[in-house]
Chain A
Amino acid sequence: MTHYSYFEKLIIAILVFSVILILIDVFIMVSVYIDKVSAKKIEQKKQSIREKIQEYISAWLIEDDVPIVDFMTRETHNYFSDKQMKDPLFREILYEEIFIANRVLLGDEQMKIKELYKYFGFEQKIKKEFFKYKWYKIVNAANDMLAIKALESSTRFTELLDHPNQFVRLIAVKAEISMGGDQVEILSELRYPLTDWELYEIINFLKRNNFKQFNSLEKLIDHKEPSVCVLGLLIARTFQELYLNVDFMKLLLSSNTRVRKYAIEYLAECGDGSYVQILKKIFPNQAEAVQKAILKYVELHGTDDDVPFIYNRLNDYRPAIQLKAAETLYNMNTNSSGFLNYLEHSKDPKNQKLAIHVLRNQ
């Protein structure tokens, strides 16, 4: 009897559970379908609002010496009524349009757009968002503040340099630099490892905004976090900082592959040939990417004495290194290039093929 009662309870539980699942399904299906059906209407409505807003923004831009309050209180501009401004869709589109205009305009016109932004209270909205918990709200708010040049010196950005989310850290770096802080000081505050993408984002940002003055870049290169050291090397290479007071031997013998690779690339581009011997010595134990960087260095700074070293690399077990070595021979100097031509006619079929590949594909 007890068993039967338990069985009954189980059946009821299964049925209730199944019905709940089916009800959830029905709810999702109906709501998703309604959204889809109404999407076109909403898009049309958005478009009509957008056109009207663009019209008023254009009218505001061609006005001269009229305070924004006067402009907005004109009879014809009642479009921005309190009722309209309470409509979330309207506010959303107005916000978007202000930022689109801000992106394409310059000088005084951009300043006028900023007036609109302040007039409609978006400044307060963004500040509120900026102090929220979710990372993407912080990033979006900071991005908008950066775009409209409404950054204020705030300890918040300094705190965010140590945020666990990479997008937040990145925008904090950009904001701090944009506010006029010392780039090297700000970047040396970074504690989290930087990925390649973050490195290139920072360098692109510095290039785009013409930040070229770096005081004591050595502070970055000597940083205990290897990726910050790599950032320092990349900055030095990108902005051709030729005179650095750095112990490159330490970098070339670093346990971090990226540090070694970027140090060699920096030396290849901005240094002289004084590291050829040490690089040849450390070559066998390196990763493929580092070995390619070493061969590039030898290509740029090597002499006839280095031809045997390069020739030995033609016997590497990896064809990618063999080819790189053959290319190094071709590009290093006239004598090494002549040696490659000699290999083209050699009796060793492998070396012959390698030479032909390089000579035909240059």
Chain B
Amino acid sequence: MLYFLSFVVQVGLFVYCLMIFLSYLLMGIRSWKVLQHHKQSNTNIDFHSFRQNPFLPSISVVAPAYNEGLTIVENIRSLLSLGYNNLTIIVVNDGSKDDTLEKAIQFYDLEIADYYYEYRLDCKPIRAVYKSKNRAFKNLLVVDKENGGKADALNAGLNISYSDYFACVDVDCLIEENAFEHLIFPVINSTKEVVAVGGIVWLNNNSDVFHGHMVKLKVPDKFLPRVQLIEYFRAFLLGRTAWSSINGLLIISGAFGIFNRERVIEVGGYNKNTVGEDMELVVRLHKLMRQKDIPYEVAYVPTPLCWTEAPDTRKVLSRQRNRWARGTAETLLMHKDMLLRPKYGVIGWLSFPYWFIAEWMGPFIEAFGILFTIIMGLLGYVSGVFFACMLTLVFSMALFFSILAVFAQEKFFNRYTEPQDLRRLFFTALLEPFVYHPFTVYWSLKGNYDLFIKKVHSWGEMTRTGYAKKENSDKTTAQT
């Protein structure tokens, strides 16, 4: 009986493994084609002259800031230097306990403005809206409000915004100067209504940054950020690129994306009851447009436009992954009515099943497989040869997609100039399945445990070094 059970489970795991491989392979092939098309298309678009176009939709950049006193001045400077023609920067101070607001007021010469807005979306009270006395910063608004979390701050920013589109950005992200020309392109080059556009977010730990601009991109020195970089390559280059090409993208990174303001208000803004508010919003937008039967698009620009700092300690990373796991589970459960419903098209038939099986259930299946194999191995019901073969198979598959993602980066973007960067990435890809992946499985399980058993719904703290601090410390080092 046990032998039969063992056999059935092993076959089940093997089939699961092959299904995942097949879906990744299909995504890889699809992404490759899309990336090629995107590269060829971009050579025929003059983004520079495009910037002068007076008909471009207006964009508000909403950047929530909480206890960012260390970097707020530099971060706002970086946002102000963005080259888009029709841009408003809205920095939302989410009741910071430090001197975030005071520093912004002092440096940018801010004063309370007579600014009209309504609470169209529910958010904590807005204390004041500040504008600069200096005309050079005329497109900057700083909103001071009571603390309510990231989703609440974004809703406050949306209440203030009057632009056609709004961009949600993490205030400490570095954004390429021409990022919004690229992001808005799918909007003005589609015959359908584009409700949201996402872009690639990449990691910049150890890269050279000066005055909020990327000077030289480097592969992170530490193992943890480096292995996350490979994960980002896989997710953004092979995964999201493919999903967006069939309008099945379920997530636009909370760090960087643009949304149709009126549509977001129509669906009720950001949901404050989930830690996966970015994914949840995109799913709700899909739902709205499918229900209303309006031709629409959730677009994606496969170009690296935004740089962020990855957690470089296990403690912070585990919190982040825990949050992602909770966010995924919450969103999928909130909208489980979309699963396998013909009304929701590709979302109901492909995206949702994939996310349920591969993204949410994946860690459970993996953990079960490992535990089951160990127990059955101890009881003598698992063939050592079969186990070794399966291990080789899983390793070769994992390595294949990591190498393919690095290759895609090299072929289509070629952002890392040093051969040693590649050496380190390849070495990390070899180690990842053994020394990193088991932890991500554990963190996901822990996230689900926290959500369903401990009923945790809050964000963890994300400690950041800050570019300004890094620049200063570099300067100090150079001076000494």
User: Which positions in A face B, CB cutoff 8 Å?
Assistant: 7, 11, 14-15, 17-19, 21-22, 24-25, 28-29, 32-33, 35-37, 39, 135-136, 139-140, 143, 166-167, 193, 195-198, 200, 204, 227, 288-289, 318-320, 322-323, 353-354, 356-358, 360-361
Given contacts A25-B399, A320-B162, A357-B115, contact A18 B393 (CB under 8 A): yes
12 chain-A/chain-B pairs, Cβ below 8 angstroms = A14-B392, A17-B393, A18-B392, A25-B400, A32-B406, A32-B422, A33-B426, A195-B190, A196-B55, A319-B117, A320-B162, A356-B116
Interface centre among A11, A193, A197 (most CB of B within 10 A): A197
Known: A18-B392, A21-B400. A33 touches B188 (CB 8 A): no
Q: Report if B134 contacts A (CB, 8 A).
A: no
CA distance A14 to B393 in the complex (A): 7
Chain A min CB distance to B379 (Å): 19
Chain A residue with minimal CB distance to B397? A21
B residues in contact with A17, CB < 8 Å: 393, 396
Q: Which of B68-76, B310-318, B368-376, B383-391 contacts A (4 or more CB under 8 A)?
A: B383-391
Contact in complex: A139, B44 (CB < 8 Å): yes
CB nearest neighbor in B for A265 = B55
A139 and chain B: residue at smallest CB distance: B44
- Closest 9 A-B residue pairs measured CB to CB? A357-B116, A136-B40, A21-B396, A196-B188, A18-B396, A197-B189, A356-B114, A18-B392, A195-B189
The answer to the question of B410 belonging to the interface, with a C-beta cut-off of 8 Å to chain A, is yes
* A322 to B, closest residue via Cβ: B116
Name B residues whose Cβ lies closer than 8 Å to a Cβ of A.
40-41, 43-45, 49-50, 53, 55, 113-118, 120, 162, 164, 185, 188-191, 262, 383, 385-386, 389-390, 392-393, 395-397, 399-400, 403-404, 406-407, 410, 417-419, 422-423, 426
Do B419 and A33 touch (CB < 8 A)? Answer: yes
A197-B185 contact, Cβ under 8 Å, with A21-B400, A288-B262: yes
Pick the contact of A195: B40, B191, B403 (CB < 8 A).
B191
Say whether A28 contacts B404, CB under 8 Å: yes
Measured between alpha carbons, how far is A241 from B49 in the docked complex, in Å?
25
Are B189 and A196 in contact, CB atoms less than 8 angstroms apart? yes
Bound Cα distance A252, B472 (Å): 59
Looking across the interface, which residue of chain B has its beta carbon closest to that of A33? B422
Judge whether B392 and A15 touch: CB under 8 Å: yes
Chain A at the B interface: SS class:
helix
Is the beta-carbon distance between B162 and A18 smaller than 8 angstroms? no
**Roughly how many angstroms separate A13 CA and B103 CA in the complex, as a whole number?**
64
CA distance A19 to B393 in the complex (A): 9
Instruction: Report chain A residues within 8 Å CB of B395.
Output: 18
From A15, A32, A140, A195, give the contact of B410 (CB < 8 A).
A32
- Of all chain B residues, the one with the shortest Cβ separation from A196 is B188
Complex CA gap A135/B120 in Å reads 47
Q: Is the CB of B114 within 8 A of A22?
A: no
Chain B residues, Cβ within 8 Å of A227: 191
Residues of A within 8 A of B44 (CB): 136, 139, 143, 167
**Shortest distance between the CB of B232 and any CB in chain A (Å):** 18
A7: chain B residues at CB < 8 Å are: 383, 386
The reply to whether B162 and A319 form a contact with Cβ atoms under 8 Å apart is yes
The answer to whether residues A37 and B162 also contact, given A14-B392, A143-B44 and a CB cut-off of 8 A, is: no
User: Which residue of the partner chain A has the closest CB to B403?
Assistant: A25
**Docked-complex contact B262 and A32, CB < 8 angstroms:** no
Collect the chain B residues with CB atoms within 8 Å of residue A36's CB.
410, 418-419, 422
Inter-subunit contact A323/B419 (CB<8 Å): no
Q: In the complex, what residues of B have CB within 8 A of residue A25's CB? A: 396, 399-400, 403
A288 to chain B, nearest CB (A): 6
Question: Hey, which chain B residues are within 8 Å of A33, CB to CB?
Answer: 419, 422-423, 426
Which residue of chain B is the closest to A257 with respect to CB atoms? Answer: B193
For B400, give its contact among A24, A354, A357 (CB under 8 Å): A24
In the complex, A25→B427 CA distance in Å? 12
Closest to B159 in A: A319
Contact A11 to B113, CB < 8 A, known contacts A18-B393, A32-B406: no
CA of A177 to CA of B349 in the docked complex: distance in angstroms?
A: 46
Q: In the complex, what distance in Å separates the CA atom of A25 from the CA atom of B397?
A: 10
User: How far apart are the CA atoms of A18 and B383 in the complex, in Å?
Assistant: 18
Once bound together, how far apart are the Cα atoms of A324 and B41, in whole Å? 37
Return chain A residues, CB-CB under 8 Å to B403: 25, 28-29
Q: Are A11 and B386 in contact (CB under 8 A)?
A: yes
A82 to B98 alpha-carbon distance, docked (Å)? 71
Q: Which residues of B contact A360 (CB under 8 A)?
A: 113-114
How far is A15 from B262 in the complex, measured between Cα atoms in Å? 55
A204 to B45 CA separation, bound complex (whole angstroms): 13
- In the complex, A242→B397 CA distance in Å? 66
A196 to B190, CA, bound (A): 8
User: B397 — which chain A residues lie within 8 A by C-beta?
Assistant: 18, 21
| Chain A: minimal CB distance from B175 (Å) | 22
**In the complex, are the beta carbons of B188 and A195 less than 8 A apart?**
yes
Within the complex, the shortest CB–CB distance from A198 to chain B, in Å, comes to: 8
Q: Are B389 and A15 in contact (CB under 8 A)?
A: yes
Q: What residues of chain B lie closer than 8 Å to A195, measured between beta carbons?
A: 188-191
A21-B389 Cα distance, complex, nearest whole Å: 13
Are B118 and A200 in contact (CB-based, < 8 A)? Answer: no
- Nearest CB in chain A: distance from B402 CB, A: 9
A26–B23 alpha-carbon span in the complex (Å):
22
| Residues in chain B near residue A322, CB distance under 8 A | 116
Contact A319–B40 (Cβ < 8 Å): no
Q: How far is the CB of A176 from chain B (nearest CB, A)?
A: 17
Contacts of A200 in B (CB 8 A): 53, 55, 188
Contacts of A35 in B (CB 8 A): 410
Q: Report A-chain residues with C-beta under 8 Å of the C-beta of B191.
A: 193, 195, 227
* Min CB gap A46→B, angstroms: 15
Given the complex of chains A and B, what is the CA–CA distance between A105 and B55 in angstroms? 32
In contact, B162 and A323 (Cβ under 8 angstroms): yes
B188 to chain A, nearest CB (A): 4
A33 to chain B, nearest CB (A): 5
Residues of the B chain whose Cβ atoms lie less than 8 Å from the Cβ of A140: 43
- How long is the Cα–Cα vector from A18 to B433 in the complex, in angstroms? 15
B50: A residues at CB distance < 8 A: 197
Bound Cα distance A24, B418 (Å): 23
* Whole-angstrom CA separation of A32 from B419 in the bound complex: 9
Across the two chains, which residue of chain B brings its CB closest to A194? Answer: B191
Chain B contacts for A39, CB-based, 8 A: 417
- Select from chain A the residue with minimum beta-carbon distance to B416: A36
Measured in the bound complex, the distance between the Cα atoms of B416 and A39 in whole Å is: 12
Inter-chain contacts of B392 with A (CB < 8 A): 14-15, 18
Kindly report which residue of chain A lies nearest to residue B120, judged by CB atoms.
Answer: A319
- The smallest beta-carbon distance between A255 and chain B, in angstroms, is 14
A197 and B44 alpha carbons, distance in the complex (Å): 12
Q: How far is the CB of B166 from chain A (nearest CB, A)?
A: 12
Q: Which residues of B contact A193 (CB under 8 A)?
A: 191
* Contact pick for A18, options B117, B164, B185, B389, CB 8 Å: B389
Shortest beta-carbon distance from A219 to chain B in Å: 22
Is B396 in contact with A22, judged by CB distance below 8 angstroms?
yes
